[in-house]
Amino acid sequence: MQAMLREAKAGLAKLLADRTGLEKERALQLFETPRRPEMGDLAFPCFDLGKAQKSSPAKIAGDLARDLDLSGTLFSRAEPNGPYLNFFLDLPVFSGKLLRKIFLEKNQYGAADSGKGKTVVIDYSSPNIAKPFHIGHLRSTIIGESLARIYQFLGYLPIRINHLGDWGTQFGMVLSAWSKDRNEDELKRQPIGYLLQLYINYNKQASENPAYQEEARGWFKKLEAGDPETYQLWERFRNLSLEEFKKVYGRLGIEFDYYWGESFYNDKMGPALDQLRDARLLETGEDNVEMVRVAEDLPPVLLRKSDGATLYATRDLAAAIYRFEKFEPEEILYVVGRPQELHFRQLFLLLKKMGYPWTDRLHHIKFGHIQGLSTRKGAVVFLEQVLDEAKDRAREKIAENIQAGKLSPGVDQDQLAEQIGISALLVNDFKNRRERDLSFDWDQVLNFDGETGPYLQYTHARIFGILRKAGKPPGPEVDFNFLSEPETRELLKKLSLFPEIVQLARREYEPFIICNYLFELTGAFNQFYNHHRVLGSGDSEAPRLLLVDSTREVLARGLTLLGVKPLERM
């Protein structure tokens, strides 16, 4: 399914190629967007042709404008403008085709089947149990989920994997702390917080008392050796934490296919290490550590400590191999912050050295840092706190907006605050390319008039309101000649771009591209709506309603792809 403007462009390119002998591909590349809308919808510079035909570009533009037969294209006329040939869309034809298409395809407008039969593994969120939460986990959760939705929309089968940090020496400390002093009630009440507290306190004690360190190591050894009682306790810690994580994911509308955390690979690292040994890639370093040198200019990858314990990298090694054997994915995306850049470079090179042919399908989807995200209670420690704070602040903003007469008080305040809070967080994340560092400011994030989640939701709800008031469903049997004004034209063109935008967002792993497009779309819609009434506009009403409904469809789809649930009322 191709975007309409692109299709139209391709048609023109062929026409120009047939007429002038220029390569069709070259013609396609040359097209530009005119500087101002009055100058047409597509501009074709004639410099190349001028050179080839040893004639002036302006003369060529003039000749072509006269000679080209545009019948059967989506363009009604061509005008020369200096060395450029400007094309004007045949608006009734264009809008008829476009709006009928959106009307028929509904929430599948922009979808594709280019990913049919292909699987993509997306490794995201992946917080750690009994270790502090990083803002990176929030970003990973948000970006990873959006990418999964975008892939799914394009026909791929996304496999959502949460690579939970559920193994490692921190469990030695937690287990040891628990053996000395336990609080069952606290564990049940808030497992994540309680386990973290155990870890932090123990860490402090261990730094003063080496015996504590020794004991923690002993506990982790017991765990790694599979001692049943220790293992059961660990499993309990893990399950309780997981339940709490799942509650937060539920609020965000996220469901993972697998919680294959680091512990999942316990029995899968041995074979991978054997393979490295057989290939003579594994070196023994000082203190008997085992490692692999993957590149001259990079530090070696440590895979086994002197006491035989495995590491983060060892588990990622086993995980990559396992995932490929299990799913044969087209790609594996690791949605993890930039600080782990070295880790992933090493990992990918290591796999390449082992001779796996699929290493170019591994991608580290890195992102920048968020500065300044804190709550009124202080620094953020858990994912849930961020959502709660967003909700509280959204509630206040909503109350302000009701006072100002912008929102109606009839809507369920609690639900609305929850959804507005989440939309604000998500959109704030997608406002920039993911690799940019961000500074966080609650007032900006929740501003109803800025480029924010609340603003996009507000526009969506407003459109819904217009359609509700119309009292009858929009239909495609309308006179498209009534869609002619400049603002209407711009909105139509924006709508036609959506399919291309989704493809581009996938190619660049950038939900930002969709988010940015939604700001342009809502901008174009507001321009249109400020200039033209819809209800009660006589012959224009039916076609305009169809246009408004199409805008709603695309805006809702875009929001959904970002992980935002579009609101019908505010």
**Chain residues that interact with ligand ARG, rule: CB under 6 A:** 123, 126, 128, 163, 165, 316, 319, 334, 336
Longest dimension (CA), the chain: 91
How near is the Cβ of 256 to ligand ARG at its closest, in Å? Answer: 13
Identity of the residue, 123 or 224, whose beta carbon is nearer to ligand ARG in the bound complex: 123
Helix (H) or strand (E) holding 88: strand 84-89
How near is the Cβ of 123 to ligand ARG at its closest, in Å? Answer: 5
How near is the Cβ of 67 to ligand ARG at its closest, in Å? Answer: 60
How near is the Cβ of 126 to ligand ARG at its closest, in Å? Answer: 4
172 closest CA partner among 214, 204, 143, 110? 214
Identity of the residue, 73 or 170, whose beta carbon is nearer to ligand ARG in the bound complex: 170
Identity of the residue, 27 or 319, whose beta carbon is nearer to ligand ARG in the bound complex: 319
Catalytic residue among 101, 134, 221, 532: 134
Identity of the residue, 380 or 491, whose beta carbon is nearer to ligand ARG in the bound complex: 380
Pairing of strands 378-379, 374-375: antiparallel
* Cα(303)–Cα(253) distance, integer angstroms: 36
How near is the Cβ of 563 to ligand ARG at its closest, in Å? Answer: 19
* Cα(81)–Cα(88) distance, integer angstroms: 13
Catalytic residue status for 131: yes
410 closest CA partner among 398, 393, 418? 398
Three-class HEC string of 52-76: HHCCCHHHHHHHHHHHCCCCCCCEE
How near is the Cβ of 318 to ligand ARG at its closest, in Å? Answer: 11
Catalytic residue among 97, 131, 246, 343: 131
* Cα(212)–Cα(349) distance, integer angstroms: 38
Q: Which residues, in sequence order, are CB contacts of 267 under 8 Å at separation 6+?
A: none
Three-class HEC string of 368-422: CCEECCEECCEECCCHHHHHHHHHHHHHHHHHHHHHCCCCCCCCCHHHHHHHHHH
Catalytic residue among 9, 137, 163, 494: 137
Structure tokens at 19: 């007429």
Identity of the residue, 5 or 121, whose beta carbon is nearer to ligand ARG in the bound complex: 121
* Cα(88)–Cα(68) distance, integer angstroms: 13
254 closest CA partner among 196, 338, 167, 335? 335
Identity of the residue, 238 or 557, whose beta carbon is nearer to ligand ARG in the bound complex: 238
Annotated catalytic residues are 131, 134, 137
